[in-house]
């Protein structure tokens, strides 16, 4: 049984709280504001952080300095990775960040990497990434779409960077990001040439998969130290 502190926004907070309680865990605090700075979270086993890119780093600092391991679903702070890595080591806690906690999406990541490695031998195909989310999603493109794009870039020689938009530039992988009402999250990768088109996609039916994955990640971190990823949980 875990004692969790959460910093959550909108529907994800309510959903994570419900799933955690249903799985027998205790929620010590739920903060709906953007930061934990003024709060005492030292009694928690694990913190679950879903906030905004502007707040995430301070929340990670607060958690690690309080001796509390943390699951982080917010993106946009990875350029500060070295700083966070030092905090985790210094305060002897555990960290599990992910661009997406859905088990299905993480399986999709593995399929994406494998397909990209195969397509690297077929230079006539052009690849594109497309993502669709609800209008409340603040980051664009999504962290999931960026992860997908980076996997393709790492496996296909002709790409060296990604760019949001539809304009085609040599060496650049395009990410098209759309915002529509009530779309939990859809991600698609296509490969197309003059002969045919290959596509793979993941479509979330609701947000439960993301929330459940975050709770499973928190359960995994109990009594652990160091930095982990969803691959450590799913064991590909």
Torsion of the alpha carbons at 223, 227, 233 and 236, rounded to the nearest 10:
-150
Q: Residues near 228 by Cβ (< 8 Å), separated by ≥ 6? A: 94, 95, 96, 220, 221
pLDDT at 10 (0 to 100):
47
* Topology (CATH level 3) of domain 3-101+208-234: Rossmann fold (3.40.50)
- Specify the higher pLDDT residue, 135 or 218: 218
Q: Is 134 a catalytic residue?
A: no
Residue 158: pLDDT band (50, 70, 90) is very high
List own/partner pairs for 110-118 with CB under 8 A and 24 or more apart: 110/236, 111/200, 112/148, 112/151, 112/152, 112/189, 112/200, 113/151, 113/154, 113/155, 115/189, 115/191, 115/198, 115/200, 116/151, 116/152, 116/154, 116/155, 116/156, 117/155
Q: Above 80 in pLDDT, residue 73?
A: yes
Cα 8 to Cα 47, 89, 165, 196, distances in angstroms: 10, 25, 30, 43
Residues 190-225 pLDDT 10s: 999 999 999 999 999 988 899 999 999 999 999 999
CATH architecture of 103-203: 2-Layer Sandwich (3.30)
Quote helix, strand, coil % in the chain, to nearest 5.
Answer: 35, 25, 40
- 31-35, 76-80, 115-119, 231-235: which has the highest mean pLDDT? 115-119
Pick the catalytic residue from 25, 62, 130, 133. 133
Parse the chain into domains and list their residue ranges.
3-101+208-234, 103-203
Q: Is 197 a catalytic residue?
A: no
pLDDT at 27 (0 to 100):
84
Pick the catalytic residue from 137, 202, 224, 235. 137
Residues 3-58 pLDDT 10s: 666 555 445 677 888 898 899 888 887 776 555 666 778 788 999 998 888 888 99
The CA-to-CA distance between both ends of the chain, in Å, stands at: 26
pLDDT at 75 (0 to 100):
84
- Average pLDDT along the chain: 89
Common-topology check for domains 3-101+208-234 and 103-203: no
């Amino acid at each position: 049984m875990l004692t969790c502190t959460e910093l959550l926004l909108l529907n994800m907070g309510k959903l994570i709280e419900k799933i955690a309680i249903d799985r027998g865990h205790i929620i010590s605090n739920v903060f709906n504001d953007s930061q934990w700075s003024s709060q005492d979270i030292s009694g928690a086993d694990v913190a679950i952080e879903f906030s905004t890119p502007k707040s995430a780093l301070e929340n990670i600092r607060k958690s690690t300095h309080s001796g509390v391991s943390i699951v982080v679903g917010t993106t946009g702070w990875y350029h500060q990775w070295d700083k966070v890595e030092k905090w985790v080591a210094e305060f002897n806690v555990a960290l599990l960040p992910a661009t997406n906690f859905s088990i299905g999406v993480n399986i999709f990541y593995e399929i994406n990497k494998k397909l990209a490695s195969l397509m690297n031998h077929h230079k006539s195909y052009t690849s594109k990434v497309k993502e669709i989310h609800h209008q409340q999603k603040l980051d664009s493109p999504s962290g999931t779409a960026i992860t997908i794009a980076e996997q393709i870039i790492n496996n296909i020689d002709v790409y060296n960077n990604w760019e949001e938009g539809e304009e085609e530039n040599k060496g650049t992988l395009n990410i098209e990001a759309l915002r529509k009402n009530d779309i939990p999250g859809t991600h698609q990768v296509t490969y197309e040439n003059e002969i045919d088109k290959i596509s793979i996609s993941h479509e979330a039916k609701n947000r439960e998969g993301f929330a459940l994955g975050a709770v499973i990640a928190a359960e995994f971190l109990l009594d652990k130290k160091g930095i982990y990823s969803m691959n450590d949980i799913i064991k590909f």
